[in-house]
Amino acid sequence: MEVIFSVQPFAAVLVVLGGAFLILFTGEHRRNLRETWTILTSLILFSLVVSLTPTILRGGLIEFTLIQLTEGVALQLRVDEFGMYFGLLASGLWILTSFYSIGYVRGLKEHGQTRYFFNFAICIMAAIGIAFSANLLTLFVFYEILTVATYPLVIHKETSEAIMGGRKYLVYTLTAGVVILFAAIWIYSMTGTLDFKPGGFVKGHGTSSTLTLLFFLLIAGFGVKAAIMPLHEWLPTAMVAPTPVSALLHAVAVVKAGVFGCLRVILYVFGPEVLHELDLWLILAYVTAFTVIVSGMYALAQDNLKRRLAFSTINNLSIIVMGAALITPHAVTGSIFHIGSHGFMKITLFFVAGAIYVKTHKQNISELDGIGRQMPITMGAFAIAAAGVAGTPPVCGFISKWYLALGCLEAKQIVFLFVLLTSAMLDIAYFFPIIFNSFFKKPKDGVVLHFNEAPMMMVIPLSLTAIISVVLGIFPSAIFNFFNLASLAATKIFGGM
């Protein structure tokens, strides 16, 4: 295996950090310059991340050690296939979210815009650090940075509801961080290392009961941000945040970081052999299957559009973790690919919710009858993304769910195939009435609607994410080599490389 020692992964982190402080020092009175720093930083970051891709597709690794703390423990960055996948997703979506955010905050004349863009950049920096972490300690450090940087975004509106949502978010996520650190220290005391390895590194260390306890401690720690029930309650409450923040939470950084951490634990810390020997995979699969079904039922009961989207996210996050828990090549490939496909589809749905709010100040589904006539581009994008989340071809959600279904058959677990199919039916039940009513029902207030979309700075990004969702559904590796990276990651995990 080719291992290249390069400063590039660290440079990606530093670029975003530097951009964040340029945003901060520019301040409120030069907003064009401030937003130029945001866009420029996102483009430079994406270019740096893309430049790492050829080495990873050749099967190589890229490493950079920040600090060697002690034998077997370092603050170290390592780019592998899985980390490359998440890094491309986060950096690519940041570009579109930056343009969308400019349209959103200007459209609503939001206060604290400099704070908003600064913390947004720090969150992306943390997400890149998480993607490129070589071990549990480095992942923990960036994971906690992400937790702290997200808090000002959650409470951005500074209402009592926002403050309460932010406090709940901190209680859940900071407690989870303590659990992760405790488990990491325990694992190091047993194994002498924290470095991620395809197929896991804890085999042969500790008793069965110890490994079982450590597994569920780590899954609980990362499962908070992944919103696995009953650790999910902070997420719907956090929907009080501005819509681009909700998009960040659901599609780019926060909950995706939680899922990323869960998959690192399942596939790179414990691995298929240990999980099979201790039957841990089956327990986790049933817990996440429960979350899939119950969150879908909760989504049906929500009238607030963002809360319905939040429960839909909880549903899909658990589908990803359930797929990884099945630990078959097809299931793992589908699970990793669904991180990206869900990212593009869900960010589209949140962008639509924000565009509707900026243009009409409507937040409830019951108020959206006929809005498709006023905002056909916006609601057309919503229809594409919603169809994809339900697993409808040719949107990318079909590809990931197809591989997850194959993984269920590969594992000889028909019950989880049934869960997937039930989830798809629930997706149809809570998304398709919105689409139908928006295009084919008349507004309840009797107002005649005319074409009147949100600002183009918002409509163009949501249109692009919808288009990319379709392109990835037809050519899964056409953009960012997403499917190739997911497949290569699965191959290494089961090849024991």
For 162-181, the pLDDT digits (tens) are 898 889 989 999 999 999 99
CA–CA separation, 36 vs 282, rounded Å? Answer: 49
Residue 54 has pLDDT above 60, yes or no: yes
Beta bridge partners of 67: 75
364 — phi, psi (to 5°)? Answer: -100, 145
State the pairing for strand pair 73-79/61-70.
antiparallel
pLDDT digits (tens, 9 = 90+) for 17-52: 999 999 999 988 888 999 999 999 999 999 999 999
pTM of the predicted model over 0.85: yes
> Quick one: pLDDT at residue 497?
42
> Position 188: which residue type?
Y
CA–CA separation, 361 vs 367, rounded Å? Answer: 10
pLDDT: which is higher, 463 or 110: 463
CA–CA separation, 318 vs 230, rounded Å? Answer: 12
Residue 288 has pLDDT above 70, yes or no: yes
CA–CA separation, 497 vs 488, rounded Å? Answer: 11
CA–CA separation, 177 vs 126, rounded Å? Answer: 14
CA atoms within 13 A of residue 132's CA, in its CB half-sphere? 34
pLDDT digits (tens, 9 = 90+) for 181-198: 999 999 999 999 999 999
Nearest Cα to Cα of residue 233 among 307, 152, 158: 307
**Which domain covers residue 474, as residue numbers?**
3-495
- Our count of domains for the chain comes to 1
